[in-house]
Amino acid sequence: MSRLQHAFERGKFVVTGEIGPPKGVDLEHCLRDAEMLRDQVTAINVTDLQSAVMRIGSMAVCAKLVERGLEPIYQLTCRDRNRLALQSDLLSAWAFGIRNALCLTGDHPSLGDHVEAKPVYDLDSVQLLKAADNLNQGHDMAEHDLDGKPNFFLGAVVTPAAEPIEPQLIKMEKKIQAGARFFQTQAIYEPEKFEQFVNGVQELEIPILAGMVVLKSAGMAKFMNKNVAGITVPDSLIKEMEETKAEDRKKKAVEITARIIRNIKQLCQGVHIMPLGWDELVPEIIKQAELS
């Protein structure tokens, strides 16, 4: 059983982190980021060609984390692989000691740096979860038996602030039926909206890790408001960042993230912190959020 699954089963408030593999083979920086999360988080997401930008793969970096005794959450998107490759990669990941898999649709290639790439999407995230769950049960999508089966702890994502929310909720329920055992959410900045969402999904009885994207600047907040689906940074937070001197921004970022976590921690089973390179702030965020 993965440590992540074990933590949920013990009813522990779970903290997960995230690292992004680099473009190239120099993993030093990325593994240093992961080291900063050691003893702070239960598991670390490793993104899969995030933003559809070609990089070293999630599986390789996950395997490096396993080697170092860190627990990865293998992010797997439907964008680049057909059902043969997705199932095969899951089996390969298991062989490398990877025990958690987060199944995602994936950003469209047109948003990344290889815009002429063929978008695959042979499966969608619900179908991928079902395929992964079938592997757990010992057979593939063609209903052939496996010689040795994995036992992945499967996760999925949801956007609590999507408008309208109903299609997201319908899909969330389908993901649970397909095999999702926990959820990580899109970044949360508005505790009241998150509360509404949580109240709406309580009967699903599924662990939810609230997404925390560390706010680095007012500019970043405005950019996300304009461009990123399902993220709304309230004006009050933008103002707070604007009034912060450049040299105090990291301190402010910690303060804001910790405050949001304090406001929502009664509502969910944990938080997923996405520090976007400011990994050194995670211990202080956890401390100020009164999680340690």
Q: Which of residues 202-231 bind another protein (CB under 8 A)?
A: 227-230
Nearer to another protein, 95 or 115 (CB): 115
Q: Which of residues 47-86 bind another protein (CB under 8 A)?
A: 78-79, 83
Q: How far is the CB of 76 from another protein (least distance, A)?
A: 15
CB contact at 8 A, 95 and 69: no
DSSP class per residue in the chain: --HHHHHHHTTPPEEEEEE---SSS--HHHHHHHHHHTTT-SEEEE-SSGGG---S-HHHHHHHHHHTTPPEEEEEESSS--HHHHHHHHHHHHHTT--EEEEE----GGGSS-TTSPP--SS-HHHHHHHHHHHHTTB-TT-PBPSS----EEEEEE-TT-SS-HHHHHHHHHHHHHT--EEEEEE---HHHHHHHHHHHGGG---EEEEEEPP--HHHHHHHHHHSTT----HHHHHHHHTS-GGGHHHHHHHHHHHHHHHHTTTSSEEEEE-TT-GGGHHHHHHHTT--
Please give the size of the binding site for another protein, defined by CB under 8 A: 38
Show Cβ contacts of residue 102 under 8 Å, excluding neighbours closer than 6 positions.
45, 73, 74, 75, 76, 154, 155, 156, 157, 184
Q: Which of residues 130-159 bind another protein (CB under 8 A)?
A: 130, 141, 157-159
Q: How far is the CB of 198 from another protein (least distance, A)?
A: 17
Q: How far is the CB of 266 from another protein (least distance, A)?
A: 25
| Residue 122 near another protein by CB under 8 A | yes
Q: Of residues 57, 105, 193, 255, which one binds another protein by CB under 8 A?
A: 105
Q: Provide the 10 A C-beta neighbour count for residue 277.
A: 14
Q: Of residues 59, 93, 126, 201, which one binds another protein by CB under 8 A?
A: 126
Q: How far is the CB of 281 from another protein (least distance, A)?
A: 25
Window contacting another protein (CB under 8 A); options: 120-128, 144-152, 191-199, 259-267: 120-128
Q: How far is the CB of 244 from another protein (least distance, A)?
A: 27
Window contacting another protein (CB under 8 A); options: 26-34, 67-75, 163-171, 280-288: 163-171
| Residue 96 near another protein by CB under 8 A | no
Q: How far is the CB of 184 from another protein (least distance, A)?
A: 11
| Residue 108 near another protein by CB under 8 A | yes
Q: How far is the CB of 164 from another protein (least distance, A)?
A: 7
Q: Of residues 148, 164, 203, 245, which one binds another protein by CB under 8 A?
A: 164
Q: Which residues would be at the binding site for another protein (CB under 8 A)? A: 78-79, 83, 105, 107-108, 110-111, 119, 121-127, 130, 141, 157-159, 162-164, 166-168, 170-171, 173-174, 177-178, 186, 227-230
